[in-house]
Amino acid sequence: MATAIPDSPATLLRRKATAEALTAAGYPVSEKTLATKAVRGGGPTYRTFGRTVLYRWADALGWAEGRLSAPRRSTSEADALRQPRAAA
């Protein structure tokens, strides 16, 4: 079953629904990745309601967009950014 992308940025989603919505929006991420990032850090902000983890859609989408690289025209542009220039 396809998961719809939430209309409201304030929508609260459980972890599985968040992963499905991000994937549907073009940011492939698994429920397990979100769980790991909640423990180790580096994931979207979340809240809890009792033992249930809830992600605000705007926070999750902002996190995913923040992980995007700068636009490129070729793979060599990425290589140039990674390699420091040799001193002359």
**In the chain, where are the structural domains located?**
12-78
pLDDT of residue 55: 98
Segment 73-86, tens digit of pLDDT: 888 877 766 767 66
Q: What is the pLDDT of residue 86?
A: 64
Helices (H), 25-74: 31-40, 57-66
Instruction: Name the DSSP letter for residue 72.
Output: -
Radius of gyration of the chain from its Cα atoms, rounded to whole angstroms: 17
- pTM attached to this predicted model: 0.81
Each residue's pLDDT tens digit in the chain (88 positions)?
456 899 999 999 999 999 999 999 999 999 999 999 999 999 999 999 999 999 999 999 999 999 998 888 888 877 766 767 666 5
